[in-house]
Every structure is written in structure tokens, then in C-alpha cells.
Amino acid sequence: MLTTQFDIFQWIGFIGMACVVYAYFLIQSEKVTKHNSFYQWLNLIGAILLIISLFVHFNLGSFLIEVFWVGITLYGMIQSKRRAS
């Protein structure tokens, strides 16, 4: 019988995944724009939580995509800040 034990890092990863998926849903349903700070922070927090979980349950492909996700999100946040000023 296969049993799966969930540790705190898997839960952190699940929360991160939920943040990223919810942010994507908000964009697709046009509830927010890419300049919305809630959307940007949700994306950033989700990616960081996923990276934290990957420190324990490592997968190179997933780790790299999350590093890029953080970088791109920070770039978008900086661009939005510049437009606002």
C-alpha cells in the first residue's frame, strides 16, 4: 500500500501553488490587470513559497522556473512602480 506523508514543506508548496494559480485566474478572468499590486504580490509570494518547498523536495526544472517567475515578477513590479511615478 502506498502512503504519502505530507510535511510542512509540502504544505508551503501547496499554498504557493494556490497563490500562483489564483493570480493566473484573476488575470484570465480580467478581475485585475498586470499592474495591480495584489496580483503582483500574490505571484511573488506564491513563487517564493514554491522555492522554499523545493529546497527540501528538489526538482531542478521546477526550481529554475520559479527563479525565473520571481525575476519576471520583480521586473513587472519595478515597471509598474516607474509608471506610477
**Residue with the three cell numbers 520559479:** 66
Q: Could you tell me if residue 4 is inside a domain?
A: no
**What Rg, from alpha-carbon coordinates, does the chain have?**
15
Q: Could you tell me if residue 29 is inside a domain?
A: yes
Q: Quick one: cell of 20?
A: 500562483
Residue 80 has pLDDT above 70, yes or no: yes
The DSSP call for residue 57 is S
The pTM of the full predicted model, rounded to 2 decimals, is 0.89
- Among candidates 18, 27, 74, 26, which has minimal Cα distance to 46? 18
For 24-76, the pLDDT digits (tens) are 999 999 999 999 999 999 999 999 999 999 999 999 999 999 999 999 999 99
User: N- to C-terminal Cα distance for the chain?
Assistant: 59
SS3 85: coil
Residue-number span of the structural domain to which 40 is assigned:
9-84
Q: Could you tell me if residue 2 is inside a domain?
A: no
Count of domains forming the chain = 1
Model confidence band, residue 3 (pLDDT cutoffs 50, 70, 90): low
Q: What is the mean pLDDT of residues 3-7?
A: 70
